[in-house]
């Protein structure tokens, strides 16, 4: 490997001009990519490898069945796993302020009005506990967003400055309206003291279907996202009106 430290360029007057550019490294395509086809457990470890140093204290606050962690070697991180199923609401975590290096957050990303929607196709309520969560007066997609925003607010409290928040989400069409959940989350979080670090697109294997179709109006979603945020070093000051 050849390391070139001082680079010189010709300036307009013909004199050599020292630039700050430093070259080094080796060519490779053995990289972590922003889009991949596969499953969450295949992608999640590479996101950790980029953003969360081994030995970090990580809270997965919607641990569910722990699928994300299937391929993460036990012992690489101090993992604190919790879920509403075990009585811990992600909006009221039992951790001290600024005590964690990373929070992983994967709440229900689809609304289940009345608890029965989608139930004949896939048991979303059983798996995601969408209605078990109290969401104030918000309904449908707004309830999904409210939980995302509430959980991210609580994550901000428990994260150390420059701590990492990894959020899993998927866009949805709600009442025939296209709701780009990932954009809505990014817009909210940058206002609330987070910096966007990365976005990963995961494309599902195979072709998801629908149980009944008369006419298709929007593209069937077959992708989801991992968003990576960093808590700002210093809190953002609220803007004066």
Ligand X SMILES: C[S@@+](CC[C@H](N)C(=O)[O-])C[C@H]1O[C@@H](n2cnc3c(N)ncnc32)[C@H](O)[C@@H]1O
Q: Which is nearer to ligand X, 41 or 198 (CB)?
A: 41
The binder of ligand X chosen from 42, 76, 89, 142 (CB under 6 A): 89
Task: From 5-13, 61-69, 180-188, 227-235, give the range in contact with ligand X by CB under 6 A.
Answer: 61-69
Site membership for ligand X, residue 68 (CB under 6 A) = yes
Q: Give, as one character, the DSSP assignment of residue 240.
A: P
In the bound complex, what is the minimum distance in angstroms from residue 152's beta carbon to ligand X? 12
Residues 168-227, interacting with ligand X (CB under 6 A): none
Q: Which is nearer to ligand X, 221 or 233 (CB)?
A: 221
H/E run at residue 81: strand 78-81
Spatial neighbors of 198 by CB under 8 A, at least 6 apart, are 34, 47, 50, 51, 226, 227, 228
Residue 4: count of CB within 10 angstroms of its CB? 9
Task: From 18-26, 104-112, 152-160, 177-185, give the range in contact with ligand X by CB under 6 A.
Answer: 104-112
Q: Is the dihedral of CA 147, 192, 99, 59 positive or negative?
A: positive
Whether residue 164 contacts residue 197, with contact meaning beta carbons closer than 8 Å, is answered with yes
How far apart, in whole angstroms, are the C-alpha atoms of residue 111 and residue 52?
31
Give DSSP secondary structure letters for 181-198: HHHHHHHHHHHTTEEEEE
The binder of ligand X chosen from 52, 72, 83, 228 (CB under 6 A): 83
Q: Pattern of binders to ligand X over 106-145, x per CB under 6 A?
A: xxx-------------------xx---x------------
What Rg do the C-alpha atoms of the chain give, in angstroms? 21
Site membership for ligand X, residue 84 (CB under 6 A) = yes
Q: Which is nearer to ligand X, 48 or 147 (CB)?
A: 147
Residue 34: count of CB within 10 angstroms of its CB? 10
Q: Give, as one character, the DSSP assignment of residue 79.
A: E
Site membership for ligand X, residue 62 (CB under 6 A) = yes
In the bound complex, what is the minimum distance in angstroms from residue 133's beta carbon to ligand X? 4
Q: Which residues bind ligand X (CB under 6 A)?
A: 61-62, 64-68, 83-85, 89-90, 106-108, 128-129, 133, 147
């Amino acid at each position: 490997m050849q390391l070139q430290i001082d680079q010189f360029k010709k300036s307009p007057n013909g004199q050599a001009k020292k630039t700050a550019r430093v070259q080094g490294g080796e060519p490779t395509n053995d990289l972590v990519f922003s889009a991949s086809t596969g499953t969450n457990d295949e992608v999640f470890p590479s996101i950790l490898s980029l953003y969360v140093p081994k030995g970090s204290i990580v809270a997965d606050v919607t641990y569910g069945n722990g699928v994300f962690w299937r391929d993460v070697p036990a012992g690489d991180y101090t993992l604190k796993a919790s879920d509403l199923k075990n009585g811990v609401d992600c909006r009221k975590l039992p951790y001290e302020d600024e005590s964690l290096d990373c929070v992983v957050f994967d709440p229900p990303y689809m609304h289940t009005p009345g608890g029965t929607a989608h139930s004949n196709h896939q048991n979303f309520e059983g798996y995601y506990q969408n209605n078990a969560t109290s969401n104030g007066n918000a309904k449908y997609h707004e309830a999904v967003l409210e939980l995302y925003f509430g959980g991210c607010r609580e994550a901000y409290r428990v994260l150390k400055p420059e701590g990492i928040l990894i959020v899993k989400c998927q866009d949805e069409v709600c009442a025939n309206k296209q709701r780009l959940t990932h954009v809505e989350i990014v817009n909210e979080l940058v206002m609330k003291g987070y910096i966007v670090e990365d976005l990963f697109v995961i494309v599902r294997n195979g072709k998801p279907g629908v149980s009944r179709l008369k006419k298709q109006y929007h593209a069937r979603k077959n992708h989801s996202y991992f968003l990576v945020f960093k808590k700002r070093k210093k809190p953002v000051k609220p803007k004066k009106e």
